Amino acid sequence: MPRFCSKICLIILDGWGIGKKDFSNAIHRAGTPNIDWIKKYYPMISLQASGIAVGLPFNKAGNSEVGHLTLGTGQILYQYSVRISQSIQNGSFFQNPALLEIYNHVKKNNSTLHLAGLLSDNIVHSSYKHLIALLD
Predicted confidence (pLDDT) at residue 1 exceeds the cutoff of 70: no
What's the pTM?
A: 0.67
pLDDT at 69 over 70: yes
Whether 87 has a pLDDT exceeding 90, the answer reads yes
Q: Which helix (H) or strand (E) holds 81?
A: helix 80-90
H or E element: which one contains 65? helix 64-73
Q: Would you name the residues annotated as active-site residues?
A: 64
pLDDT tens digits, residue range 11-58?
888 878 788 889 898 888 888 999 999 989 988 888 888 888 888 888
User: CB–CB of 75/47 below 8 Å?
Assistant: no
Q: What is the pLDDT of residue 101?
A: 96
